Amino acid sequence: MSNTRSRKATEPGGVTYYTTYQVSKILGVSLPTVVNWVNSGKLNAHRTPGGHRRIARGDLILFAREYNYPLSDDFLNQSSGRRRIVIVDDEQDFSDMVRDYLTIKGKFDVQVADSGFPAGFIVARFKPDLILLDIMMPDMDGFEVLRMLRAGRDTQHIPVIACTAYRDVQIERRIQEEDFDGFIQKPLKLDELLSMIQEALGQPRRATS
């Protein structure tokens, strides 16, 4: 993995690109396999002015998740120039949609936890810059997860945006009273979420068109 780190290229805008050879080593497959993926359109690749193919880090992560290729913690925790976000939500379709949007449109590195308990392990390992947290979950609700985060020395500073489809005045009032850094209602508008995240992180807002 150390060779991959030293040879990766970072283009203007902070996007990291890998060669097809590097991708083959990261995923543990042969170089012809990666080339076939690119040629068939399964794996998105860009061409340099010299005609060489380069795969963006975000595209590689999306491909690995879609086709169930494991990525090591070492690779995921490499500094990519991107901010990191954890989505905690038990609705997989929702999490996948938001993760893909934030990865591609927002240029974030994103990981997903399907409930409060695994969220603790993922947050400790991934060290996110922000957490999008569903309120109504089966094992541990969002209020409990928030208290756990605020009690931790390494997590108490992380901005947390609450998200719920449960329309109830008392729930919304409690969200406003708790130490959240924002609140968005489902079904949400992705561009509105992106603006909220950028504001919470102190980033300039990207154009949504």
- Same domain for 139 and 173, yes or no, is yes
Task: Supply the CATH number for residue 52's domain.
Answer: 1.10.1660.10
Token representation of residue 196 = 């909220």
What are the respective helix, strand and coil percentages of the chain, to the nearest 5? Answer: 45, 20, 35
pTM across the whole model: 0.64
- Same domain for 131 and 54, yes or no, is no
The residue out of 70, 94, 121 marking a domain boundary is 70
Give the pLDDT of the chain (209 residues) as one tens digit per residue. Answer: 323 333 344 443 446 788 898 899 999 999 999 999 999 999 999 887 777 888 988 889 889 988 999 888 777 766 556 789 999 999 989 999 999 999 889 989 899 999 888 898 889 888 899 999 999 888 888 999 999 999 998 898 999 999 988 777 888 888 888 888 889 999 889 999 999 999 888 754 444 43
- Same domain for 96 and 31, yes or no, is no
- Same domain for 144 and 45, yes or no, is no
